[in-house]
Structures are given as structure tokens and as C-alpha cells.
Amino acid sequence: MAVAAYFVVSGSLYKQVNDRLQQQADQLINSQLASEFALQSRSTLIALRAFNPNLDAQIVVPTGGRTATGEPFQIGAPEINVVRGAAESSLRTSGGKQIYAVGVRDGSTLILAQDLGPTRETLNRLAIVLTLVGAAGIALAAVAGTAVGRTGLAPVARLTRAVERISRTDELRPIPVTGDDEIARLTASFNQMLVALRESRERQARLVADAGHELKTPLTSLRTNVELLIAASKPGAPAIPDDDRGALEQDVVGQISELSQLVGDLVELAREDSGEVEPEPVAVADAIERALERVRRRSHDVDFRVELIPWFSFGDSAGIERAVLNICDNAAKWSPKGGIVTVRMQTISDSVMELIVSDQGPGVPVEDRQLVFERFHRSRVARAMPGSGLGLAIVRQVVTRHGGTVEIGDADGGGAEVRMTLPGSGEPTD
């Protein structure tokens, strides 16, 4: 900016010098003193210099005579061309002077030379002033930029310190949000991530604690039964009656089966928690058929009545199959011998399908209808039945991850009715 200002002022000053030279020459030529005698008179030039101390002048006549005043200066080729009539005028810079030559009507040539010293001195002073002002401006801009940068980057610094604190201490405390700019929105998003991470960690901690608690009872019972069987098999130990021994062996097999189911449910729950399943197009009716086939193999005394429709969703085929399997397993488990489990699909809208599974069991008390979807929750009646308490928790987790809903109500003929919705369409999705 300072350089541009310098060149603009410099050009303006030099233009003023040129304009003044031409104006003075025109005034001298067109004045009443412009007779041949007056113009060639040295007194005329002396008078001109008296009013213009920095101006030197020469008059060259065709015969070669020359009249001069002021400091002598060398006439160059441009001025000679004017003297010879080859050019009307000339303007050039030489020896620190701005030289202007112009032909006069009587054939003589007027040559004026303006000393550029004052102009250059003015420009030098201007350069010094602009340099100082520019340096001060740069320094001020640097200070202001540093201050603004520190103020603007303060939220970034806080965010950086928070990330370093989290990585160092593993503490998931939210960061205070100030303002409404991009950094504030970034901080708010980071806080949401911290909340999600903290909730995930809390869920993992609860899962580990609940799993340990649930595993403790069957493991203790299994260990007691196995130790009793081992002790009875030692030489000299009292024999266990065959009926009691058979009951113990059945208990061991049942406890192993219970542990296997619990571990399998824990693995499935951890799989759903990981979120690493690759989504894919899912034919929901096919997934339901596969789940029903597995349920039928272990529930021979229950009749399944099925009404399926084409429905296609996008997500985890194995997860949807597992959710339907758990719902149908529960329905079969609570249905009496010879009972009927109804599995029916229907569309609520063009983009939502509802799966209804109803049984003829005792139903679910109203106060337990939300709690049954919690991990390891088992009602007082359910504790007498086999199960891990994780089946419906897996159902809700799978359905929620697919953008659906699940709820429990009363079936029309008594018993429980589970309604599960899934988004999708009646046509295959790409």
C-alpha cells in the first residue's frame, strides 16, 4: 500500500513539473514581451528566473546564437531536433533536471530546465514517512492479529486441552460451550460425542456387572453338583441313589445349557453394541421364516400360524432374524401345550411394516411391559423359567438400530402380543 502511494504521488509530482514547464513556456511565448528582441533578451530570461529560482532557460536562434540564464545545462539530441525544426517540442530528464524545448514562431527555440532537487527531496521525505507509517501499520496489524488470533483460537485451545485431558485421565467431562460460532458448534458436537461415549462405557460396565451377577448363580450351582458327583465317585464314598444321581446329572446338563444360552446372548448383545455390522438389503419375510424354523425344532408342542408378506429393509439380516427368534421363543415358552402362536406381518404405511406375534400364555403385567426390555430383567414369575433375561433387550437393541419400534400389549384371546415395526418397502431395495 505504501509503495503504491509513493508511485502515485511521484507520478503526480513529475506531471506537475512537466505541466508547469509547458505552461511557463507558453506564457513566455504568448506574452507581450514575445517580440524577437524581448524574447532573445537576457533581461527577459533573468526576470523569468527571478520568479522561478529553480528554472534555467536558454534561447537558441537559427543563426546559432544562444542566450542563457541560470546554471548552464547540456543541450541534447531532442533539443537539437527542435532547433532544426525536426520536432515541435521535446521533454526529457537529464542531470537532475527536467528539460523542455519548444519552437517559437520567429524560428528560435526556447529551452527550459527545471531543477528536480526539491521534487526528489519531497519524494524522499514521503518515502521515509510512508516507510515509518507502513512499519507502524505492520506492527499494529501484527499486534492486533495476534490478539484477535489468541482470542479467536481460545476455544480451540480449550478444546485441545480437553482432548488431551481425556486421553490422559480418561475422564469424560463435557467442555463448557461459549458463543455461537463454528468453534462453539464443534465443541457442542464434541460434547455429544463424550456423552455417547460415557453412556456406552456405562452400558458396558453395567453389562459386565450384570453378566457377572447372572453367571455367578448357575456357576455356583454347577460347581456344587459337579463336586458332589465327583465326591460320590471316589472309592469308599457313600453311593448316591440312582434317582438322585440322575436328577443331579439333569441339573448339570440344564445348568450347562443355561450358561451356553447366557454366553450366546452376551456375545449377541456385544455384537449389537459394537455397531460394526455391515448394512445390506434384507428380505424380512425370509429372515422370519429362518427364525421360525429354528423355533419349531425346539418347540414341538406349540402350533405356529404364520401370515407373511413381501417386505424389504436395509440393515443386518442376522440381527433381524435373532430379534424375531427371541420374540417367537418367548411366545412358545409361555404358551401352554397345544397352544397357538400367531405370527403376522402387515403394512402400516408404504414405508413401515408391523410384525405381530401373539401367544396364549399368561401375558405380561402392565408394570413390567417396559422393564422386560432391560438387560437381565426378569419378572418374579419369569425367574422360575429358563432364560438369561437378555432376549428382549437384544430385540429392542436390534429394532432401534434399524429405526423401528417394539412394544408389548395384550393379545385378543389372552396372552401377550408383541408388536415390532421396521421401515422399508414392499419392493426389493438396492
* Same domain, residue pair 230 and 324: no
Beta carbons of 391 and 265 less than 8 angstroms apart: yes
* Same domain, residue pair 24 and 87: yes
* Same domain, residue pair 224 and 97: no
Q: Is residue 176 part of a domain?
A: no
- Maximum distance among all alpha carbons in the chain? 161
Q: Examine the fold and report which residue of 245, 272, 299 is the final residue of a domain before the chain moves on.
A: 272
* Same domain, residue pair 287 and 396: yes
**Per-residue pLDDT reduced to its tens digit, 253-281:** 877 876 776 677 677 666 656 556 678 99
Q: And the C-alpha cell for 346? A: 402387515
The values of phi and psi at residue 23, to 5°, are -65, -45
Confidence tier at 33 by pLDDT (50, 70, 90): very low
* Same domain, residue pair 385 and 367: yes
* Same domain, residue pair 413 and 281: yes
- Count CB atoms within 10 A of the CB of residue 330: 26
Q: Is residue 183 part of a domain?
A: no
Q: Examine the fold and report which residue of 241, 272, 303 is the final residue of a domain before the chain moves on.
A: 272
Range of lowest pLDDT (4-18, 104-118, 257-271, 352-366): 257-271
Q: Examine the fold and report which residue of 69, 89, 115 is the final residue of a domain before the chain moves on.
A: 115
* Same domain, residue pair 266 and 397: no
Q: Is residue 418 part of a domain?
A: yes
Q: Is residue 348 part of a domain?
A: yes
Rg (CA), the chain: 52
Q: Which domain holds residue 249?
A: 215-272
* Same domain, residue pair 236 and 288: no
Dihedral-angle region of residue 350 (phi above 0 means left; psi in -120 to 50 means alpha; beta otherwise) = alpha
* Same domain, residue pair 262 and 351: no
42-51 helix and 2-30 helix, angle to the nearest 10 degrees: 150
Q: Domain containing 98 — which CATH number?
A: 3.30.450
Q: Is residue 187 part of a domain?
A: no
| Cα distances (angstroms) measured from residue 203 to each of 189, 213, 269, 273 | 21, 15, 11, 9
Number of domains composing the chain: 3
Q: Is residue 202 part of a domain?
A: no
Q: Using a pLDDT cut of 90, give the percent of the chain over it.
A: 17
**Per-residue pLDDT reduced to its tens digit, 104-142:** 777 778 888 888 888 888 888 888 888 888 888 888 888
**Interval 246-250 mean pLDDT:** 82
The values of phi and psi at residue 110, to 5°, are -100, 125
Count Cα atoms within 13 angstroms, Cβ side, for 102: 17
**Per-residue pLDDT reduced to its tens digit, 282-294:** 999 999 999 999 8
Instruction: Provide the pLDDT for residue 210.
Output: 65
**Per-residue pLDDT reduced to its tens digit, 79-102:** 888 888 788 888 888 878 888 888
Query: What is the dihedral sign for C-alpha 286, 288, 289, 290?
Result: positive
Beta carbons of 133 and 2 less than 8 angstroms apart: yes
* Same domain, residue pair 372 and 244: no
The values of phi and psi at residue 386, to 5°, are -70, 150
Residue in 153, 175, 71 with CA at minimum distance from that of residue 113:
71
Q: Is residue 233 part of a domain?
A: yes
Instruction: Provide the pLDDT for residue 58.
Output: 75
Q: Domain containing 403 — which CATH number?
A: 3.30.565.10
**Per-residue pLDDT reduced to its tens digit, 368-405:** 888 888 876 666 555 555 555 677 888 898 899 899 99
Q: Is residue 154 part of a domain?
A: no
* Same domain, residue pair 265 and 385: no
Count Cα atoms within 13 angstroms, Cβ side, for 319: 30
* Same domain, residue pair 106 and 8: yes
Report the chain's mean pLDDT, rounded to a whole number: 79
